Amino acid sequence: MSWGSLGYAAFFFALYLAAHMIARATVPEADPALLPMAGLLTAIGLTEIYRLGPTDAFKQGLWIVIGVALFAATLIGLRRDYRILESYKYLFGLGAIVLLFLPSIPGLGTTVNGARLWVSIGGFTFQPGEIAKIFLIIFLAGYLRGKREVLAQGRLKDLGPLLVIWGACMLVLVETNDLGSALLYFGIFLAMVYIATGRVAYVLSGVGLFAVGGFGAYEKIPHVHERVVIWLQPWTTKPVYCPLNGLPALRQDCQSYQLVKSLYSIGNGGFTGTGLGNGTFSTTTGTPLIPFVNTDFIYSALAQELGLIGASAMLLVFMVFVARGMKIAIQADDGFSKLLAAGLTFGFALQTFIIVGGVLRLIPLTGITLPFVSYGGSSVVTNFVLLAGLLLVSNRANARS
């Protein structure tokens, strides 16, 4: 224990209190459990990031401050009526597309770990796809509310927008080399169409289209192909071709090194874990065992230090958060609010599923952040804005009943 870590704790607690006060003042009727859950997840995440590297924790702390500031700004700016956003739905849709393609612009985009998702301006890196997620949800909530009756009839020509968005998702996938984001955007889209129209046929045809697109990507894009291979067979008993250096090597020492080390990390935790700060994350010589452990693999770090029981507790918090978000969507009484709350909640849930499922080798691993917990500025900021949106919808729904 050091004064530094206590300083973080005190500062974070003060920040949480400030967020709580602002929420009480602007949305007094909102669901009281969401902010504490977000606070808990952020605190666990920050603690683990501090334990893995105090320098990153300082940066993450700064991002949390920005996140809380935007949280407050969203609540204060939209406290009267957030439904004004509906009038700007096409602007949000356009904004989402622009943000999604921003990393593809030469000179602006940065490729990290094979995926082209980051934008770098003056040494300051962020992931525009995260903010695009919120924009997309606002656009879909506004658009589907107007078009739900037409879409529910299910004529072929009304499938146009579905195909356009499917195409856009696949373009993003090809451009950014990232299956996770494409799955996330398309999943959000399908869920919101289903909520608006109540027709399973859309979900089935959407899943079919995604399967076709995914298979195409698996065949044509080496990066995606590799992820599937790693997922299905992370271990080999004989040396195979290693694309990293072109030499034969066991796959666990080459492509799937990160995933395999992360699985060992989870296994090392056992039932109650090693305890916070007691886990093993570097070799005796000091080299880190799992590359990118504090972003995509924070779940395996936490699973080691908190064990099965602690990791389950964290997943339970995510589950309760999602349950309360869906309850807000049920309580809301106009279509836009319902779709907005359901979309935000579903996006949150799907993102958690994609990364935890990927780390646990349930689905192919794709780099995406664990909401509130992972190290990553854009993610933390976006999730605080998402939380503000849910609180606004909840406040309105509860104030009316």
Partner 1 sequence: MIASAQVETTLLVLKLAFLVLLYVFIWRIVRSAARDLRLPQESMVLSPQQVAAYLPQPTARELARLVVAASPAIAAGTSFAIGTASVFIGRSANNDIVIASDEYASGRHARFEPRRDGVYVEDIGSTNGTFVNGTQVTRAHRLAPGDVVRAGETDLRFEA
Residue ranges binding partner 1 (CB under 8 A): 32-33, 36-37, 40, 272-273, 275-276, 278, 306-307, 309-310, 313-314, 316-317, 320, 323-324, 327, 401
Q: Is 109 helix (H, G, I), strand (E, B) or coil?
A: strand
Phi-psi label, residue 248: left if phi above 0, alpha if psi -120 to 50, beta otherwise: beta
Count Cβ atoms within 10 A of the Cβ of residue 267 and give its class: 0-12 exposed, 13-18 middle, 19 or more buried. Answer: exposed
C-beta separation of 290 from 258 below 8 A: yes
Sign of CA dihedral 246, 248, 249, 251: positive
Distance CA 328, CA 331 (A): 5
Residues 6+ apart with CB under 8 A from 196: 144, 145, 147, 148, 151, 152, 335, 339
Cβ at position 245, least distance to partner 1 in Å: 41
Per DSSP, the chain holds a count of helices (H) and strands (E) of 13, 5
Cβ at position 48, least distance to partner 1 in Å: 12
Distance CA 388, CA 325 (A): 12
Longest dimension (CA), the chain: 67
Cβ at position 215, least distance to partner 1 in Å: 39
Residue 313 amino acid letter: A
C-beta separation of 193 from 184 below 8 A: no
Cβ at position 135, least distance to partner 1 in Å: 30
Cβ at position 70, least distance to partner 1 in Å: 25
Nearest to partner 1 of 150, 320 (CB atom): 320
Cβ at position 278, least distance to partner 1 in Å: 7
Nearest to partner 1 of 32, 146 (CB atom): 32
Cβ at position 292, least distance to partner 1 in Å: 25
C-beta separation of 196 from 145 below 8 A: yes
DSSP state, 375? S
Nearest to partner 1 of 61, 325 (CB atom): 325
Residue recorded with tokens 């309850």: 327
Nearest to partner 1 of 110, 272 (CB atom): 272
Q: What six digits make up the tokens of 383?
A: 């999730």
Distance CA 158, CA 201 (A): 13
Distance CA 389, CA 342 (A): 11
Cβ at position 65, least distance to partner 1 in Å: 24
Distance CA 279, CA 275 (A): 7
Nearest to 343 by CA among 194, 209, 198, 130: 194
Cβ at position 310, least distance to partner 1 in Å: 5
Nearest to partner 1 of 211, 313 (CB atom): 313
Neighbours of 9 (CB within 10 A): 14
Distance CA 132, CA 136 (A): 6
Q: What six digits make up the tokens of 336?
A: 């836009």
Nearest to partner 1 of 39, 234 (CB atom): 39
Cβ at position 85, least distance to partner 1 in Å: 24
